[in-house]
A = this chain, B = another copy of it.
Amino acid sequence: MIKKNSVENFTIHTIGVIRSCFVEKFGIPRQPGLAPSACAEIELVEPYNRQEMVQGLERFSHIWIQFLFHETLSEGWKATVRPPRLGGNRRMGVFATRSPHRPNHLGLSAVRLLGIKTGDDRVRLELGGVDLLDGTPVVDIKPYIPYADCLKDASAGWLSDDFIKISVEFLHEPAEFCREYERTTGRKLARLIEEILEQDPRPASQRDRKHHFGMMLWEVNVRWKIDKERCVVTACQTLEENG
């Protein structure tokens, strides 16, 4: 049970933990749904690892994950931030953004619910289209209710959804690596890399001065080069090979 410490402070608990393809922050899509192949699991923790607590949830196509931006906890919050979608050079109030540098560091993502696995005292929810870092503490799960949550007359302020996707190509070797990886793990790595890179994950500050980038997806180190609107995946290696 939640404890009310004072008028203004509340203690909340982790109810589950995210296991995700995103093992580092760089490369994570800026909102859920942008990379449909980005998969994750929530594993519920004690005492919430009971099948009955999610009974009926399997009938919803999408769910809300409320979580903590645990990697920015130590950095604290900021009154204003520079959103990447504004080119990184205009300040907005933090409450006018979805930045992790917010008071209470609460995150909110609507994701696809692919399935629920139970057994051996474990309850795991399989998710698609995530923007969640591996190890993220989950503090609530709710059904996505279209009539209350999908506001068809909402307008998006300074955000627009017509951002430009960049084209993504693979060199022969990483393309081969992805095929073999998918064959042995079932993970659609090539499609996932495409979905991530076509949105150009570079911070605005690096766009003019850096051309080679890398990120980790699961245990795979992915490297690419980028020039104007053209992106080429140059290498994919597992951490073992790489080290």
Contact = CB atoms under 8 A, between A and B. Distances in A.
A158 B53 contact: no
A140 B103 contact: yes
Contacts of A109: 148
A53 B110 CA distance: 24
Contact of A96 (B2, B56, B150): B56
A218 interface: no
Given A32-B148, A103-B140, A80 B62 contact: no
A118 to B, nearest CB: 11
A91 interface: yes
Contact of A48 (B56, B103, B149, B152): B103
Contacts of A80: 52-53, 55
Contacts of A141: 95
Number of copies: 2
Interface string A13-26: 11100000000000
A53 B94 contact: yes
Contact of A9 (B11, B76, B105, B149): B11
Chain A interface secondary structure, helix, strand, loop or mixed?
A: mixed
A156 B151 contact: no
A74 B56 CA distance: 26
A57 B150 contact: no
B142 A108 contact: yes
Interface string A105-137: 110111000000000000000000000000001
A150 B148 contact: no
14 contacts: A1-B77, A13-B103, A31-B145, A55-B96, A56-B158, A62-B151, A98-B142, A104-B139, A106-B140, A110-B151, A110-B154, A143-B156, A146-B151, A149-B154
Interface of A: 1-2, 4-5, 7-15, 31-34, 45, 48, 50-57, 59-62, 64, 66, 68, 70, 73, 76-77, 79-80, 91-98, 102-106, 108-110, 137, 139-159, 161
